[in-house]
Amino acid sequence: MNRKVLIVGALIVTPLLIFLALSFGKDPRAIDSPLVGKPAPDFALQGLDGEMVRLADLRGRPVVINFWATWCQPCIAEHPVLRAGAKQYEGSVEFLGVIYQDEPENIQAFIDRRGAWGPSLVDEAGTVAIAYGVYGAPETFFIDRNGVIERKVTGALHPNELASLLNGMLSSG
């Protein structure tokens, strides 16, 4: 009797242990975006400077859209990476920041202290974040010249990752 219980228990527990072991090292929040390979949802948002930015007006150049907030520690860590990238690719890649669950006043104060890397757009109702399936900050979308989402990165960007993605987008014509 005890032997049967032990065998049945092992048959139940072993697959569970294998499943858990295969999941180690994977971010449980990282979900592949169904938007990759599809046209980026269009939007028109007003920047902190009062200028209206329309994604459709940027066709013909790669676009980086970063959803960020001042309360987000990874956003703060990646801020210098985005500033350096925007400077390096100035004129060939557009960088847009979309304010995610934060106040424009907080963003402006942050930019005044640390500098800007592109327009910070006010998504007051959160409709753009919803259209892109954003569930946390930072999330960054890389959009090719034709307006198609080529890649989504969840979490802070590393400088080498940013350069590699942008160089690939620029060389693919």
CATH of the domain at 60: 3.40.30.10
pLDDT category at 14 given cuts 50, 70, 90 is confident
pLDDT at 140 over 90: yes
**How remote is the C-alpha of 74 from its chain's centroid?**
11
Strands (E), 8-148: 44-47, 52-54, 63-68, 94-99, 120-122, 139-143
pLDDT value for 93: 97
pLDDT value for 9: 73
**How remote is the C-alpha of 132 from its chain's centroid?**
9
pLDDT category at 13 given cuts 50, 70, 90 is confident
Q: Tell me the pLDDT of the chain averaged across its residues.
A: 90
pLDDT value for 15: 74
What's the whole-model pTM score? 0.82
- Residues spanned by the domain of 8: 2-171
Cβ neighbors of 109 (< 8 A, separation 6 or more) are 70
pLDDT category at 21 given cuts 50, 70, 90 is low
Total structural domains in the chain?
1
Count the neighbouring beta carbons within 10 Å of the beta carbon of residue 127. Answer: 12
For 54-80, the pLDDT digits (tens) are 999 999 999 999 999 999 999 999 999
